[in-house]
Structure 1
Amino acid sequence: MAEQIAQRLKAERKQRGWSLDELAERSRVSRAMISKIERQVSTPTAVLLARLANAMGISLSALMFEAGPTQQTVSRLAEQREWTDPATGYTRRLVSPALRQGDAEIVAVNLPPGARISFPASGALCIDGQLLLQQGQLQLSAGGEQLPLKPGDCARLALHLAHEIYNPGAEVARYLVVIRVNSA
């Protein structure tokens, strides 16, 4: 997975004609760190990848997983790509990718007990999402609002705004996120 992320990051950067310095300035991620990610010397965290994706105006999934030319009606579990954040153990599996701008994508997430992820705001994208908690418990913080969730609860979020997801429980929190990405 690290190789795929490295290749996607470099390809997206070069497609825009950006130097490492320009991406660093736009993302507020150091030039050295971007270079390490592209050379697979460092494994990026989810928050760092979100900052890079935001700077390039693409979704986190678009940066992590290259969309293949597919019109399949079934997304087989064996073919769904998964990534684990080295800092928190947060696991993200792309269940169903968006095939074009405006499509919905479905992401399955496992967040370990006590783990907390703070996502930065995106100025380049408008990302609407719904989070359905399947197991465990979550505490969402968005727009100054605290949203405690229990299994079966579904929260609507403007994921392009800064938000935090925290698992205060003793078990893994498993949830689905349905995302629709549009240009800002």
Structure 2
Amino acid sequence: MAGQIAARIRSEREQRRWTLAQVADASGVSRAMINRIERAESSPTAVVLGRLAAAFQVSVSALLTPAEATGVHRMADAMEWHDPGTGYRRRQITGPQFPADIAEVHLPPGASVPYPAASLAFQREAVWVLDGRLTFHEGDAVHELNPGDSIEVEGPVACVFANTSDAECRYAIILARVDRP
């Protein structure tokens, strides 16, 4: 998976004709780290992927999914990405050509994953808790979500997904691209 992420990030950068320094400036991720990721020498954390996705104005899932992925997606064939820092696991449900971006996430007990407001600058997000309990920080607001609960996030706001329980939390993220002024 590291090779696929490396190729996708390099491709996004090259499509824009950006230098490593330009990506670093836009994302807040160091040039050295971007270089290591592009060479598949380092696996990015969820936070780093969120910053890179925001800089490229694509979803995190777009960086994790092959560009040609369409049609039937078999569970047995699904690639699952693991955040080396938190143990967070993410499996893409839809392909990049589908109008909504849907991913399944497993968040271990005690783990917390922040995303910057910039990651929602061009998309709306809904979070649907499937199992466990999720503490969702939406800016300054904190929401305790249980199985079956969902939340829609309207605008660009910093978010934190936190599992403060002693059991894994499984939830779905649904993203839709929007044009903002």
TM-score after normalising by structure 2: 0.92
Work out whether 1:178 is the aligned partner of 2:174: yes
- Give the Cα–Cα distance (whole angstroms) in 2 for the partners of residues 167 and 159 of structure 1: 23
CA contact (8 A) 1:124 1:183 kept: no
Q: Is the alpha carbon distance of 1:66 and 1:160 closer, same or farther for their aligned partners in structure 2, counting shifts above 3 Å?
A: farther
Q: Is the alpha carbon distance of 1:153 and 1:124 closer, same or farther for their aligned partners in structure 2, counting shifts above 3 Å?
A: closer
Structure 1 equivalent of residue 94 of structure 2: 96
Letter matched to residue 133 of structure 2: Q
Structure 2 equivalent of residue 83 of structure 1: 81
- Compare 8-17 and 91-100 and name the one that shifted more: 91-100
Q: Is the alpha carbon distance of 1:97 and 1:29 closer, same or farther for their aligned partners in structure 2, counting shifts above 3 Å?
A: same
- Compare 80-89 and 109-118 and name the one that shifted more: 80-89
Work out whether 1:111 is the aligned partner of 2:114: no
Aligned-partner SS, 1:41 = coil
Aligned-residue CA RMSD (Å): 1.7
Number of aligned residues: 180
- Give the Cα–Cα distance (whole angstroms) in 2 for the partners of residues 119 and 55 of structure 1: 12
Letter matched to residue 87 of structure 2: G
Letter matched to residue 62 of structure 1: A
Work out whether 1:156 is the aligned partner of 2:159: no
- Give the Cα–Cα distance (whole angstroms) in 2 for the partners of residues 104 and 112 of structure 1: 25
TM-score after normalising by structure 1: 0.91
Tell me how far 1:2 sits from its aligned partner: 0.3
CA contact (8 A) 1:58 1:125 kept: no
Aligned-partner SS, 1:54 = helix
- Give the Cα–Cα distance (whole angstroms) in 2 for the partners of residues 150 and 116 of structure 1: 16
Gaps in structure 1 of 5+ consecutive residues: none
Tell me how far 1:25 sits from its aligned partner: 1.0
Tell me how far 1:124 sits from its aligned partner: 7.8
Gaps in structure 2 of 5+ consecutive residues: none
Aligned-partner SS, 1:92 = strand
- Compare 15-24 and 74-83 and name the one that shifted more: 74-83
Letter matched to residue 42 of structure 1: S
CA contact (8 A) 1:138 1:165 kept: yes
- Give the Cα–Cα distance (whole angstroms) in 2 for the partners of residues 181 and 66 of structure 1: 18
Tell me how far 1:18 sits from its aligned partner: 0.6
CA contact (8 A) 1:105 1:180 kept: yes
Aligned runs of 1:37-48 on 2, under 5 Å?
37-48=37-48
Q: Is the alpha carbon distance of 1:172 and 1:124 closer, same or farther for their aligned partners in structure 2, counting shifts above 3 Å?
A: closer
- Give the Cα–Cα distance (whole angstroms) in 2 for the partners of residues 66 and 131 of structure 1: 23
Tell me how far 1:68 sits from its aligned partner: 1.1
Letter matched to residue 87 of structure 1: G
Letter matched to residue 7 of structure 1: A
CA contact (8 A) 2:29 2:51 kept: yes
Letter matched to residue 119 of structure 1: Y
Question: Alignment partner for residue 166 of structure 1, among 162, 165, 168?
Answer: 162
Identity across aligned pairs (percent)?
Answer: 40
